[in-house]
Amino acid sequence: MYDLKALYEAQSVQDAVRLRLEHPEAQILAGGTDVLVQMREGKRAGKELISIYGIDSMRGVSIDEEENIRIGSLTSFSHITKDPIIQKYINVLGEAVDMVGGPQIRNAGTIGGNTCNGVTSADSASTLFAWDAVVELTGAEGVRRLPIQEFYLSAGKVDIRPDEIQTALLIPKASYENCFGHYIKYAMRNAMDIATTGCSVNVVLSEDKKTILRARIAYGVAGPIPTRAPSAEEAAGGRPATEETAETFAAAVLSDIRPRDSWRASKAFREHIAVELAKRGLLESIRLAGGATV
């Protein structure tokens, strides 16, 4: 049984905004894979819930008039993995969210819930950071968009105002065009586990496939929020697509990441893994982009 005070079901985005204003202490309920478990554990006992699960306009993947890839916040992990737009332009995101939990979680869990939790270990987060995702929030004053790097404020805290709900995630054309990437999740088990460290890398290569025009990398569990590694990105940009460049790129991540000691892994181990994952991620991204490292 769930110990809740009340459940309100929003029929539209504007209805959800209205309910947020009328019930400021209420918890938003999407797929429920985190909130309902926490309620059963007693952590959210007696709370009001606003369910947005019935708002179909917040589901699905499309390309908008600005050629952004638009991912509705209620789109499930399973749908993202199988979506043809995702598979064509940013397959790495589909691969990343396919590592979340088990099939039941992936069928119910949503990309919006995964990001709004604000946790650094979310499998979607490092890829969204590495692809310069933009978060769309809708509130009483209209639509607000901000880079995902600004959306995450601190561990478990994101920039959502009291009247807002997250309605979509956008991947700009400049971020996905001619771009290829790879995500590696390092965990204690191969499935049904939280990442010890997650690393997402992507590249744009020159026309002859021999030079890295742009490289981007982001981590989960390398700091209190998902973390980009600009020193590594700068170290690879404009350099040959070679294993030597991959080693230089990987070593540079230590200037930017801030992992911690925990019962899952020590800081030193996470730093070691972060360097190795960066190298492997870059080499695989180059291969996917049609390059051949030597």
Summarised one tens digit per residue, pLDDT across range 28-54 is 888 777 777 677 766 767 788 999 999
The per-residue pLDDT for range 100-140, each reduced to its tens digit, is 877 788 877 899 988 998 888 888 999 999 999 999 999 99
Asked whether the predicted pLDDT for residue 89 surpasses 90, the reply is yes
The predicted model gives 4-20 an average pLDDT of: 92
Quote the pLDDT of residue 265. Answer: 78
Report d(CA 24, CA 138) in Å as an integer: 15
Least confident residue range of 61-75, 100-114, 229-243: 100-114
Asked whether the predicted pLDDT for residue 149 surpasses 90, the reply is yes
Question: Is the four-CA dihedral 93, 107, 225, 157 of positive or negative sign?
Answer: positive
Least confident residue range of 128-132, 196-200, 253-257, 287-291: 196-200
Measured in Å, how far apart are the chain's first and last C-alpha atoms? 59
The predicted model gives 52-69 an average pLDDT of: 95
In the numeric block, the tokens 């939990």 are attached to 101
Residue predicted with more confidence, 139 or 190: 139
Give the Cβ contact number of residue 177 at 10 Å: 10
Quote the pLDDT of residue 246. Answer: 97
The per-residue pLDDT for range 214-226, each reduced to its tens digit, is 999 999 888 889 9
Amino acid type, 145: R
DSSP 83-137: -HHHHHH-HHHHHHHTTSS-HHHHHH-BHHHHHHT--TT-TTHHHHHHTT-EEEE
Q: What is the mean pLDDT of the chain?
A: 90
pLDDT band at 27 (very low <50, low <70, confident <90, very high): confident
Least confident residue range of 15-29, 73-87, 97-111, 119-133: 97-111
The predicted model gives 240-251 an average pLDDT of: 97
| 182 within 8 A of 285, measured Cβ to Cβ | yes
Report d(CA 82, CA 88) in Å as an integer: 10
pLDDT band at 266 (very low <50, low <70, confident <90, very high): confident
Least confident residue range of 53-67, 197-211, 217-231, 255-269: 255-269
Residue predicted with more confidence, 1 or 17: 17
Asked whether the predicted pLDDT for residue 168 surpasses 90, the reply is yes
Quote the pLDDT of residue 107. Answer: 79
**Residues of the chain with pLDDT > 90: what percent?**
69
